[in-house]
Structure 1
Amino acid sequence: MPTYSAPTKDMQFVLHDVLNVSASEIPGYGDLDRAFTGAVLEEAGKLTAAVVAPLNVVGDAEGCRLENGVVYTPTGFKEAFEQVKEGGWTGLDMPEEFGGQGMPYLLGTAVGEMFSSANQSFTMYQGLTHGAASAILVHGTKAQKATYLPKMVSCEWTGTMNLTEPHCGTDLGLMRTKAEPQSDGAYHLTGQKIFISAGEHDMAENIIHLVLAKIPGGPEGIKGVSLFIVPKFLVNADGTLGARNGVAVGNIEKKMGIHGNSTCVMNYDGATGYLLGEEHKGMRAMFTMMNEARLGVGMQGLAQAEAAYQNAVAYAKDRLQGRDVTGVKNPDGPADPLIVHPDIRRSLMDQKSFVEGGRAFLLWGAQMIDAAHRAKDAEADGLVSLLTPVIKGFLTDQGYDMTVQAQQIYGGHGYIEEHGMSQFTRDARIAMIYEGANGVQALDLVGRKLAQDGGKHVMAFFELVKSFCKENADDDAMAEIVGPLKEASKHLQAAGMYFMQNGMKNPNHALAGSYDFMHLFGHVCLGLMWGRMAKAAQNALANGSQDVAFHDTKLTTARYYMARRLPATQMHLARIQSGADTVMTLDADQF
């Protein structure tokens, strides 16, 4: 059975040596010294390894079951959820006034990676609740916050987001769910939603659904969508639970992965709901949750890759197959371990360089969210908005690819369920689809985010890369890092210039290259992260590092990424500059 150990040392390195969090002026960051973050991460690591991770295989094998309108979660989930709640982990970065611990989103993200690596299906129950609570926190009335947030922060009540319908996914303007106004100010919702993660389960006494619906007489399309709070059980004035609402689970979806999470068809039959935010402004409120969710999904791609990589490394060191072509390494055994072979090393280095670079990218993004929310930093807000589709799309695409590479290390045993490697691949696959399929993320990046605020945010990103390269231009030890990063940044700028010169004449030239642009951008982001990590490791060694092997490994891995992974930017640029003609020439009936 696969195992998991939280990468606390690497997280501490990113937080303190790369992001230098305790010296930041972001409110709340002054408390994030090494001892404090180390204690939090250590405790989270113990819980995820000992309690949450062992249930990952259980959830995959058992799944959820629907009996008489009640969804039962896999064996052990309910008891583990109680331990997570008792430890206060569900409200780690939520406001203290509603029962949270008020810690920065950054620390919540680091802890969230551990939970997701340990058991993605299980973690989704609290993760979706966090997103729903965040939407209520931003857009809810004072009464709504008082009614729902304390119980949701503690996960006594969980939350969901209800967008998709059988006939519409990304194009939410086509939705049919109706919200009829009532004389008491409430609404009655009727319709069906599908793919609702954690839509019904037995781990909380109430479930608070956030549901997109249309109020009759409103504008057509997406402009007529509103967001509603629809509790499973209505809440009385004194906070106690009242009557069962008109919402019920119709079915549990049979899925490729995340079997331990109850993905439901939800039927609304005149269910009582309460407007969240303004009429016909539902997407504004929903995107509060979706932007957070997209960063969380990027984290899921990274987290599955981390867990798969850990097990692939252990297997490569243990499994004896063939002999090292340069000389026997295990003379007392019948063969050498897999890890001596160059192609196995290549695969493991691909995985290692992605996971560690992706973690730095993700935590940098979380730091920018804290800067935007806690310090009201408009520049950070603009930059993380630009990078959100890259974090979601690139980390999940690459994360899935890395779980496949980890599975490949096992050879035939990777295809056998006994070893558990297929679960990482199957669970990672959904992250490329939900919260906006990655093709949509790429379109959002190229079609909206690049030109946002006159292109100032992408220019700010280029300036970050330029400044880093300039600061380290005279450092011979950084030459292997700076040179490739500078070249990759030029590829990204050239791609942007191509869109400007050709996209206005024919938008398909930009849209056909959007997916490659997202990946090109992602590689440059990881290149910048590896540059920063290499510099931090170099500084640590110059200052008498107490862990020379760790910092030497960082430098070696940075060089690997620059030499073997970052050159992909040239390929992506060539594809972009080939335009849309070869993509769009065939008529539909020629496919």
Structure 2
Amino acid sequence: MQVYEAPIRDMRFVLEELHTDDGFGDLEGFEDFDEDMRSAILEEANKLCRDVLLPLNWPGDQQGCRIENGVVRTPDGFPEAYKAFCEAGWAGLVVDQKWGGQGAPHSLAKMVEEMSCSTNLSFGLYPGLTGGAMVALEAYGSNDLKNLYLPKMANGEWSGTMCLTESHCGTDLGMLRTKAVPQDDGSYLVTGNKIFISAGDHDLADNIVHLVLARLPDAPAGVKGISLFLVPKYLPKDDGTLGDRNGAGPTAIEHKMGLKASATCQMSFENSKGWLVGEPNRGLEAMFAMMNTERVAVGIQGLGVGEIAYQSAVYYAKDRLQGRSLSGVKNPSGPADPIIVHPDVRRMLMTMRAYNEGCRALSAWVSRALDAEHAAKEPEARARAKDFVALMTPVVKALFTDLGHESAHLAVQVYGGHGYIQESGVEQFARDARIAMIYEGTNGIQALDLVGRKLPDRMGRNLRSFFHPVSQFIEDNGADANIGKMVGALQQSFGALQLATGHIAQKGMKDPEEAAAAATDYLRLLGFVAMGYCFAKAAKVAHAKLAEGTGEADFYKAKLVTAQFFFDRLLPPATAQFMAIRSGKASMMDMPAEAF
């Protein structure tokens, strides 16, 4: 059974209590979003996601999308839900007010994203892709394009996509073949074929704005010859109303493992009229403004699936009677005890809970930095926030989706045989979560980005944005009577991370394959140390609140138990990954290719 209630209390905890000392200071421009407003937004978002989106999740998976007369039709109820979503202003929650959005901080909007990803991940992709397209358009589009397109995208009337992948190239975009021919009126005719285009076509919005990577006739080879173009499904007239159908449309819907209610399309562009976004041959620069936004969003997808998987597993574990507790009967009036009494079931539930709380705490820190990049009062704070976001973007994308996928499979395991049956609803979580580890750059690519680009950048400057606060926290709290043991465990893992960083820097300079061989283990180690730092801080806050006697004792006690489980059970294996990093590349690279 798919069960969900937004974890609003924990969301408020990471927003209002955990990161008050992050060093970014007060942020400008968010004065309207005080504590009362944030709480109201979270409550209303929960109602929409729980009462409107969740009931469509399993039926939408069963029905899927279809093409009728060249138009993709989404599952029953999706158009009505999208209309309600947009009319309530959710499509423009984080969009600048000058384009008609709400101007909310990312730190708040990411919590709302988590809710929609929990309750209906397929649905969430439609407005999510639009938000990413708006980021690229706002940063690189001409004033005419921004004035025409952004207001209608902000209110959800028009949606957006990103069109990168072709059948012969995915990550290696330098191989793409789509062409763009300049016209006398300043537009371009775009021709080519794309695959795996999320929300490539649908019946939710009146128009779809495609951001398409293509080559100009005189473009140099490789990635230095890629440009970005805005290609709408319908050509707008001067007054903003829709005109003729453009030469852009779906040729097929991909048959996928999961996310069946999300229209993943094969797209054809035949002399489609479009407009250049940014500078010629610098399309990747513009596209990565969107990609980085999407990578953080994909990480939130992993967290969202992990949360509903956990809640659904808890519901079942409390209800399912099977066996007796090893410590004595807990349900004497029934034929058996609920399976939540069994240690191995508790192990799985606590693992999911700790993953979710750790990822939520880290996402709140990263999203605070997303806001601080532009809204911090001090230039030094803005620069440090930018460095932190650069470092943590691949970690959020890869680690959160890895853990969300693991949580989905743990939920199936808690349900046992019933979890393997479609009607339980939890096997959908496992199928839906799997793609998040692949799209927007596979998790292996994220790890390579981390060790190959983010670590050596400016002699390790990005790392300082993380290492300095963690080191300072350990120094300040190592002797704390309440959390000293947790801080000691954090210090041990942080030491392993420092040694791993030095090892990769030394070996990688001589042999890039050495760094690449360690990349995935290093990303996981960095991510778990970051979560450990968040848990130790959370434990410190919880002890202080309990000492004050300010109420909500059960919440803070549960926070302490979860933190202790993380340090006891989850952090030690991650720390041990330093041994794998130190082992080098030989055992994975020495096997001749023909021997596989």
State the TM-score, normalized to the length of structure 1.
Answer: 0.99
Q: Match for 1:581: what amino acid?
A: A
What's the counterpart of residue 422 of structure 2?
417
- Corresponding position: 1:347 with 2:348: yes
Q: Does 1:11 align with 2:11?
A: yes
Matched-pair contact (CA < 8 Å) for 1:227–1:277: yes
Distance in 1, matches of 2:565 and 2:441, equals 32
Residues 256 and 426 of structure 1 are in contact (CA less than 8 Å); yes or no, is this contact kept in structure 2? yes
CA distance in 2 between partners of 1:21 and 1:306 (Å): 27
Instruction: Read off the aligned partner of 1:4 and give its amino acid letter.
Output: Y
Could you say which residue in structure 1 is the equivalent of 2:461?
A: 456
Q: What's 2:327 paired with?
A: 326
Q: Deviations over 1:8-51 (max 9, x none)?
A: 11101111111239994111344443222111100100111000
Equivalent in the alignment of 1:385:
390
1:576 aligns with one of 581, 586, 590: 581
Q: Aligned residue for 1:166?
A: 167
Range that drifts further, 14-23 or 156-165: 14-23
The answer to whether the 8 A contact 2:385-2:465 is kept is no
Task: For 2:204, give the aligned amino acid.
Answer: M
* 8 Å contact kept, 1:520–1:568: no
Distance 2:386 2:420 in 1: 43
Pick one of 473, 482, 503 that aligns with 1:477. Answer: 482
Q: Which moved more, 1:13-22 or 1:543-552?
A: 13-22
- 1:177 aligns with 178
Deviation at 1:97, TM superposition (A): 1.3
What letter is aligned with 1:503? G
The one-letter code matched in structure 1 to 2:137 is I
Quick one: which of 510, 530, 533 aligns to 1:505? Answer: 510
Deviation at 1:481, TM superposition (A): 1.3
Partner amino acid for 2:4? Y
* Paired residue type of 2:437: M
1:359 Cα deviation (Å)? 0.5
Shift of the alpha carbon at 1:147? 0.5
Shift of 1:409: 0.2
The answer on whether the counterparts of 2:157 and 2:206 sit within 8 Å (CA) in structure 1 is yes
Q: Using the alignment, how far apart are the partners of 1:539 and 1:36 within structure 2?
A: 26
Residues 205-239 of structure 1 show CA distances to partners (whole Å, capped at 9, x for unaligned) of 10000000011111210010000000000111111
CA distance in 2, matches of 1:74, 1:272: 30
Counterpart in the other structure of 1:81: 82
What letter corresponds to residue 300 of structure 2 in structure 1?
Answer: M
2:578 and 2:399 map into 1 onto residues whose CA distance is: 16
Offset at residue 459 of structure 1 (A): 2.7
Q: Secondary structure at the match of 2:510?
A: coil
How many residues are paired up? 591
* Change in 2 beyond 3 A, CA 1:106/1:561: same
Where do 1:272-287 residues align within 5 Å?
A: 272-287=273-288
Partner of 1:432: 437
Unmatched runs of 5 consecutive residues or more in structure 2: none
Distance between the aligned counterparts of 1:368 and 1:549, measured in 2?
A: 30
| Residue in 1 that maps onto 2:405 | 400
Is the CA contact (8 Å cut-off) linking 2:33 and 2:104 kept in structure 1?
no
Note the C-alpha offset of 1:480: 2.3
| AA partner of residue 280 (structure 2) | E
Q: Deviations over 1:46-83 (max 9, x none)?
A: 11100011100111000001112011000000001010
Asked if 2 retains the 8 angstrom alpha-carbon contact of 1:179 and 1:213, the reply is: yes
Is it true that 1:106 corresponds to 2:107 in the alignment?
Answer: yes
Which residue matches 1:56?
57
Structure-2 separation of matches of 1:360 and 1:118? 20
The within-5 A match list for 1:75-474 is: 75-375=76-376, 377-474=382-479
| Matching residue within 519, 522, 529 for 1:524 | 529
SS of the equivalent of 2:185 reads: coil
Question: Counterparts of 2:33 and 2:102 in 1: how far apart (Å)?
Answer: 13
SS at match of 2:60: helix
1:3 is displaced (CA, Å) by 2.1
Matching of residues 542-553 of structure 1 within 5 Å: 542-553=547-558
Deviation at 1:570, TM superposition (A): 3.0
Equivalent-residue separation in structure 2 for 1:532 and 1:216 (angstroms): 55
CA distance in 1, matches of 2:204, 2:590: 53
CA contact (8 A) 1:480 1:559 kept: no
CA contact (8 A) 1:15 1:21 kept: no
Task: Give, as a single letter, the amino acid of the residue that structure 2 aligns with 1:403.
Answer: A
Gaps of 5+ in 1: none
SS of 1:321's equivalent?
A: coil
Cα shift at 1:540: 1.0
How far, CA to CA, are the matches of 2:329 and 2:151 in structure 1?
Answer: 62
CA RMSD across the alignment: 1.2
Q: How far apart are the structure 2 equivalents of 1:248 and 1:128?
A: 17
Q: How far apart are the structure 1 equivalents of 2:515 and 2:110?
A: 33
Q: 1:228·1:273 contact (CA, 8 Å) conserved in 2?
A: yes
CA distance in 1, matches of 2:182, 2:555: 62
